[in-house]
Chains A and B, each alone.
Chain A
Amino acid sequence: MRGPPPRHPDEQREQLPAVEGVIADAAELQPGNRVVYPNQGVCEVVGVEEKDIAGQKLQLVRMRREEDGAAVLVPKNKVPSIGLRRVATGEQIEGVFHFLAAQFEDPELDWKVRHRDNADRLIAGGVLGVAEVVKGLHSLSRIRPLPAKEREQYDNARHLLVHEVAVSLGVPPALAEDYIDYALMPPAGVKFDLKPPPTPVLLPSRPKRRRPAATEEEGIEDLGLGDLGLGDLDLGEALAAVPEGEAAEGEGAEGAEGAEGEAEGEAPAEGAAEGAEATPGAEETEEEAAPRKARKAAAPKVPAPKAEKREAKRAAAKEPRRKAEKPAKAEKPSKKPAARKAAAPAKKAEKPAAKKTAPKPAAKRGGKKK
């Protein structure tokens, strides 16, 4: 079987066929729909609400992440650009399993290309894109252990895949994971009667400039943030998540990292997740959010230790809010929200180490911008 698909060298993103199930218009969303927010997981649509943000009325789609009950808010006009899609169909899931079980000969060996492509796959590749990341990194791990950042990406991709398969098949997550690994690393002597795997998702060519697309800039202006220099940051993905984050707080550090070009697969995810999680406390105002963004815009190249400090600050700031939001999550009394939420700051703790081990971020940044 072939390795990951080639990029389209010159075609525009818009000219590529959309991944099956992508929500092109917020009007398609009905309360009760189950959708996948790339890098976030399966969410249930709650409804549309209007909020007054910085003097502007903003229509927001409210969703609830199924895994932990976290609230996610997305501006209605952002829906087409964030890659929201319907939960994979039975047919798509079947294709995923035949893909996972197929022979995979040639993992991408250039880590810069690989990391960037995998980040794109997680955002725009549909469920098959997520499976491609898991399988690609898994194949690579058989040649050599993954670097810390990709080990993290592998675990994140696995987490997303496990949960989407679980929701699509209606089985518990641990069972979904057993199904996945039964395909990925079958027991000795087990041979599957495989169908040809589905065609891998074609990745769009990366824009030469790191500026967000025009529509995204409009979005920024809508929020009255255009003058903060945000337009210079490639926050396409992260920004879409800002208002729901209202915890733009989280976006701050993470978004900047994403813009730096490191770990964008992880960073926006983490950042947006933070946002999502902080949302139930939703009372944060845009005034609070804006200065944080300004800070981010002013110093987009945050050295690791600073980012870490900020992270710690955020963690501290988040603590009370987390408690406050508990009642809102009464229907999901498990410790998951806390565990998950708490996980992000801790996760951060690893990053500096990863950064120290290699002068990679710089190299990667360069690589990515070309």
Chain B
Amino acid sequence: MIRVVTLEKIDPADMAFLTATLYRAFGLGTEHAGDRPVPRDAEMDDGRLDAVKFLQDVAPVRTFADDKVLYITSAPLALPPGPLGEPPCWGFSQYGGERAVITTSKLPERGVTEASIETWRRRLAREAIHAIGHLWDLHHCYDAKCAMHPSWSPALPANPEMDLDTFCREKSERRIRLAKT
């Protein structure tokens, strides 16, 4: 089961698109599990949220074995700088674990036209699949058409597909199948 938790209000149609897409991508029931407040400890001076702290401190939701929880925030997320600097952050996951968070702050404007809303929804779904993919032990993928390709990659098309490539899909299917047995 995938439980989606929002930190701000979200259009019910956007949520319906997201849960349907996640269900298709992983074959797992997906539901909106309500709202939670922003964890104060994760707030940084520059207005961003520390993604690592966020996952440690955010209020939990009730889960059962192998449930995955995806938090969605509109606040920009930040990662601690690494050896070559700070990677941009679309989302962050506890690899092989339970919680992931994604931000809508880097998505293209949602806008009001049917086309712009569709683009926004698809892009949100892609980031959600990426984040949940990490929860199911997926690593990044070199295929720019795969949702596990890093979201910042210059090779990523402007309107990326919201799908896993064959390798990643099969790997996630195996992990999910085995978790179920």
Interfacial residues, chain A to chain B (CB-CB below 8 A)? 93-94, 97, 101, 138, 141-142, 145, 151, 154-155, 158-159, 162, 169, 171-175, 177-179, 181-183, 185-188, 190, 192, 334-336, 338-340, 342-343, 346-347, 349-350
Contact assessment for B179 and A335 in the assembled complex, using a CB-CB cutoff below 8 Å: yes
Given contacts A175-B92, A181-B140, 12 further A-B contacts (CB under 8 A): A141-B142, A155-B167, A158-B139, A158-B140, A172-B52, A175-B79, A181-B153, A187-B88, A339-B137, A343-B175, A343-B178, A349-B174
5 CB contacts below 8 A, A to B, read A177-B139, A179-B83, A185-B155, A187-B88, A342-B174
For residue B134, CB closer than 8 A to chain A, the reply is yes
Contact assessment for A182 and B171 in the assembled complex, using a CB-CB cutoff below 8 Å: no
Q: Enumerate chain B residues within 8 angstroms of A171, measured Cβ to Cβ.
A: 52, 80, 82
Contact assessment for A185 and B150 in the assembled complex, using a CB-CB cutoff below 8 Å: yes
Binds A, one of B12-20, B37-45, B94-102, B110-118: B94-102
B127-143 vs A, CB cutoff 8 Å, 1 = contact: the mask equals 00000001001011011
Which residues of B in the span 127-181 have a Cβ within 8 Å of any Cβ on A?
134, 137, 139-140, 142-143, 150, 152-155, 167, 170-171, 174-175, 177-179, 181
Task: Point out the residue from B152, B170, B179 that lies within 8 Å of A187, measured CB to CB.
Answer: B152
| A272–B90 alpha-carbon span in the complex (Å) | 36
Tell me what chain B mostly uses at the interface: helix, strand, loop, or mixed.
loop
Q: Enumerate chain B residues within 8 angstroms of A342, measured Cβ to Cβ.
A: 174, 178-179, 181
Q: Enumerate chain A residues within 8 angstroms of B82, measured Cβ to Cβ.
A: 97, 169, 171, 175, 178-179, 182
Contact assessment for B142 and A138 in the assembled complex, using a CB-CB cutoff below 8 Å: yes
| A141–B152 alpha-carbon span in the complex (Å) | 18
Contact assessment for B97 and A142 in the assembled complex, using a CB-CB cutoff below 8 Å: no
Tell me what chain A mostly uses at the interface: helix, strand, loop, or mixed.
helix
Interfacial residues, chain B to chain A (CB-CB below 8 A)? 52, 65-66, 79-80, 82-85, 87-89, 92-97, 134, 137, 139-140, 142-143, 150, 152-155, 167, 170-171, 174-175, 177-179, 181
Task: Point out the residue from A169, A178, A336, A349 that lies within 8 Å of B79, measured CB to CB.
Answer: A178
| A185–B71 alpha-carbon span in the complex (Å) | 26
A93-B83 contact in complex given A187-B152, A339-B96, C-beta closer than 8 Å: yes
Contact assessment for B94 and A174 in the assembled complex, using a CB-CB cutoff below 8 Å: yes
| A190–B84 alpha-carbon span in the complex (Å) | 10
Contact assessment for A185 and B87 in the assembled complex, using a CB-CB cutoff below 8 Å: no
Residue of B nearest to A319 (CB): B181
Contact assessment for A175 and B154 in the assembled complex, using a CB-CB cutoff below 8 Å: no
Residue of B nearest to A181 (CB): B150
Contact assessment for A338 and B154 in the assembled complex, using a CB-CB cutoff below 8 Å: no
Q: Enumerate chain B residues within 8 angstroms of A190, measured Cβ to Cβ.
A: 85
Q: Enumerate chain A residues within 8 angstroms of B153, measured Cβ to Cβ.
A: 181, 185, 187
Residue of B nearest to A189 (CB): B154
Least distance between B119 CB and chain A CB atoms (Å): 20
Contact assessment for A151 and B65 in the assembled complex, using a CB-CB cutoff below 8 Å: no
Q: Which of B85, B93, B142, B177 has the most CB of A within 10 A?
A: B142
Q: Enumerate chain A residues within 8 angstroms of B179, measured Cβ to Cβ.
A: 335, 338-339, 342
Residue of B nearest to A151 (CB): B167
Task: Point out the residue from A192, A335, A350 that lies within 8 Å of B84, measured CB to CB.
Answer: A192
Q: Enumerate chain B residues within 8 angstroms of A94, measured Cβ to Cβ.
A: 83
| A97–B178 alpha-carbon span in the complex (Å) | 34
Q: Enumerate chain A residues within 8 angstroms of B171, measured Cβ to Cβ.
A: 155
Contact assessment for A179 and B174 in the assembled complex, using a CB-CB cutoff below 8 Å: no
Q: Enumerate chain A residues within 8 angstroms of B83, measured Cβ to Cβ.
A: 93-94, 97, 169, 179, 183
Q: Enumerate chain B residues within 8 angstroms of A335, measured Cβ to Cβ.
A: 65-66, 179
